[in-house]
Structure 1
Amino acid sequence: MSQEFDIKPELGLAVGRFLYSQFFRTPPPPSQSFANQTVIVTGSNVGLGFEAARHFYRLNCAQLILAVRSVSKGETAKEDIVRSVKHRTDADAIQVWPLDLSSTESTLAFADRVKTELPRVDVVVENAGINNTTWVAVENGWEQTIQVNVINTLLLALALLPKLAQTKSEFPDSIPHLAIVSSEVHHFTKFVEANAPDIYARLNDEKAFNGGDRYNVSKLLEVLFVRELVARLNTAATNHSTSTSAPTTSTSTSPVVITLVNPGLCVSQLDRDLPRPLQLVLGLLRLLVGRSTEVGSRTFVHAASAGPASHGQFMSDGQNQDVESWIYSDTGRQVQKKVFDQTLKVLETRRPGLAESVGLTVRV
């Protein structure tokens, strides 16, 4: 494979920033109200998603959707949340809906149900994800980590964006948020797959599979796609405002605040699919360095209420933070556009017209 892009992550800087965050930064407990708001949290029956859902219910959201693979486990999580939040007794404010991101059919069915059954959607936290170091092929031969963490996560995001924008239009006091849970591990990959003519063909080639780097790559793909998505949406909005002679400002006028959120290293269920020896090693690391699940989940709530200055930003510890430095370079801009264009084409095959529905066009 030819070397079109020579990506060199600054590993020392990334490790130093990670350790400083883990030992010297603690996201504050969220206290802002989510009254009248409808909140969706994916992967919310365990771990960070579960604790974030508990926060949203405690902070008085009007409706909470637990989007989970196992409805029975989701119902158990709902019971726990209701039992733990003493000042509320309205268990019917929490609903459990099935969502399996390894299945495109399930992903699109969930998005369609949201559009038809929910009058409004104010917050979507896309937390569901996997970390799998072994090759597993799912639907049509797609490698499972890329299918779940990237393609169908982004498919759901774009499918729900119009509903979030509609909420802003119909409920002007709302500031809808789409928070996609990413990770600082995007700093740690050389992303050699970027040099392939077709990035996803390379990622779905079992012979080229690098299990130790796959999760890192999946999180980098999220970062690159969301950054380019926001940039193109902002350009489209500016062009529309100019063509209609509407006033423009230097700040984001997006109806939806889209963020990438990094919870840090936390005690969680993320390693549950890894080989047992690796689970034990990472489990020890999480105990020594990691945050509690509840502390990590606070970052999701902060992202779900972030101001417009966080639109398109990578958030850590409840604050905006730089992504890996090479992403800001000419190489980074080229890789970002390549990832975005190839990803959007994949998404269009799964739901034709998706790009147009959010104000984008597919570039040939």
Structure 2
Amino acid sequence: MSEEFHIELELEKTIGTIFYSQFFQTPAYPTQNFAGQIVVVTGSNVGLGLEAARHFYRLNCAKLILAVRTVSKGEKAKEDIVQSIKHRSDADAIEVWPLDLNSTTSTLEFAHRVKKGLPRLDVLVENAGVGAQRWTLVEGFEQSIQVNVVNTLLLGMLLLPTLTATKDKYEHASPHLVIVSSDGLRFTRFKQINEPDIYQALNTEKGFNAFEWYCISKLLEVLFIRELVKRLGGHKTTSMVPVVINLVNPGMSHSSFAREASLPARIIDSVMRWMFARSTEVGSRTLVLGANAGPTSHGHFMSDGENQKVAEWVEQDVGERAQIKVFEQTMKVLEVRSPGIGRAVGL
């Protein structure tokens, strides 16, 4: 296989950046008022999503949608949030809606419900994700790719026109699409980018490595969003961006992310988090800060509430070529799942 896209890892720099963030940086406690706004948080019954949802409710959002795979767990999360926030008594401001990103049908149905059932959409935080530990194909795609990339981007693209309409309709609206990313994207050489069909390569069991595929899934998100923002013209007039689209990195935080991993993997994960992780609440702040970040965050990867360079190669010619290839091949997949999705967002 030829190396048309040669990616050099910057391990020493990456580890230094992560170490500094974990031990010497603390994301600011969110104080921005979300009064009047409707917020959707996916994967919000546990972990970072739950704590981010709690912040949005504390910060007076008009309506909070907990988008969860299991409604009964979402109802428990709602009860927990309501009981913990003493200055509000409007439990009906929180609704639990089913969303399973393993399923394209569920993703399409959720998007349709948002479009038809909500008068506006101010914030979409796409937090739901998986780190599949075993080889599993879902609708023909490896599970981490299916959930973290294809249907996450499908949902974001489907609801981007709704976010834009909110900006057009309400004078002071500042809609945000926030995708939860990870430092893990810096730990892959992404060899599959050199294959003619990236997704075919990723959906073949040969060479599968759970951590590698998770890292690739997070890198694919970044490359796609960078190219999407570029094609929508967002880098030209950031002050006029109708919807701020950014990616946020919560850092290593205590969460239930590894709950479906094998016992040895869960043990390793628990030890690593015990040694290095920030609290779930602190990690969740990055999601809320992303939902309130200014237009200068548009198209950017954020850590600790601030824009951060992804990697040197991403900023170079190889990165620009890689994001074009990723975008075009991903759009082909999304168009199959929702014909006309590109045209609907203005591509």
Q: Which residue of 2 aligns with 1:85?
A: 85
1:315 aligns to 2:302 (yes or no): yes
**What is the deviation of 1:6?**
1.5
Matches within 5 A, 1:340-351: 340-351=327-338
Structure 1 Cα separation of the partners of residues 238 and 251 of structure 2:
28
Report Cα offsets for 1:152-191 as digits up to 9, x if no partner.
0000000000000000111121100000000111111000
1:53-103 deviations in Å (ceiling 9; x for gaps) = 000000000000000000000000000000000000000000000000000
Distance in 2, Cα, partners of 1:317 & 1:356: 34
Question: Hey, what does 1:53 align to over in structure 2?
Answer: 53
Distance 1:2 1:97 in 2: 46
Contact 2:131-2:211 within 8 A present in 1 as well: no
Q: Map residues 97-112 of structure 1 onto 2, 5 A cutoff.
A: 97-112=97-112
Residues 70-219 of structure 1 mapped to structure 2, 5 A cutoff: 70-139=70-139, 141-219=140-218
Residue matched to 2:346: 359
In 1, Cα distance between equivalents of 2:259 and 2:92:
31
* Paired positions, count: 347
RMSD: 1.1
Q: How does 1:201-280 map to 2 (within 5 A)?
A: 201-234=200-233, 250-280=237-267
Q: Quote the offset at 1:200 in angstroms.
A: 0.2
CA distance in 1, matches of 2:265, 2:326: 30
Shift of 1:4: 1.9
Given the alignment of the two structures, is residue 302 of structure 1 paired with residue 301 of structure 2, yes or no?
A: no
8 A Cα contact 1:68 1:98, kept in partner: yes
Matched position secondary structure for 1:352 = coil
Inter-CA distance 252–339: structure 2 relative to 1 (3 Å threshold):
farther
Structure 2 residue identity aligned to 1:222: E
**Misfit runs of 4+, over 4 Å:** none
Aligned to 1:286: 273
Matched residue SS, 2:320: helix
Tell me the secondary structure at the aligned position of residue 178 of structure 2: strand
SS at match of 2:248: strand
Tell me if the contact between 1:202 and 1:208 (Cα under 8 Å) persists in the aligned partners.
Answer: no
The 2-side partners of 1:251 and 1:302 are apart by 18
Q: 1:267 and 1:251 mapped to 2: Cα distance? A: 34
Percent identity over paired residues: 61
Q: CA–CA distance in 2 between the matches of 1:212 and 1:38? A: 35
Separation in structure 2 between the aligned mates of residue 252 and residue 203 of structure 1, nearest angstrom: 38
SS in 2 for 1:270: coil
Aligned-residue offset at 1:252 = 4.2
Letter in 2 for 1:110: F
Equivalence for 1:25: 25
Contact 1:158 1:358 in 2 (8 A): yes
1:226-265 CA-to-partner distances (Å, cap 9, x unmatched) read: 0110011017xx9xxxxxxxxxx74342210000000000
Does 2:32 match 1:5?
A: no
CA distance in 1, matches of 2:211, 2:125: 26
Hey, what's the Cα distance between the residues in 1 that align with 2:5 and 2:30? 41
Which structure 1 residue ranges, 5 or more long, are not aligned? 239-248
- For 1:312, what is the secondary structure of its paired residue? coil
The answer to whether the aligner puts 1:332 opposite 2:319 as a matched pair is: yes
1:331 and 1:165 map into 2 onto residues whose CA distance is 31
SS of the counterpart of 1:28? coil
Structure 1: which amino acid aligns with 2:206? K
**SS where residue 306 of structure 1 aligns?**
coil
Kindly provide the CA deviation profile for residues 34-56 of structure 1, in whole angstroms up to 9, marking residues without a partner as x.
00000000000000000000000
Aligned partners of 2:47, 2:211: CA distance in 1, in Å? 22
- Letter of the 2:238 partner, please give it: T
Instruction: Please state how far the C-alpha of 1:2 moved relative to its aligned partner.
Output: 2.6
Contact map agreement 2:238 2:298 (CA 8 A) in 1: no
CA distance in 2 between partners of 1:128 and 1:251 (Å): 28
TM, length-normalised to structure 2: 0.98
Deviation at 1:5, TM superposition (A): 1.5
CA distance in 2, matches of 1:70, 1:282: 24
Deviates more, 1:349-358 or 1:208-217: 208-217
Alignment of 1:62-73 (within 5 A): 62-73=62-73
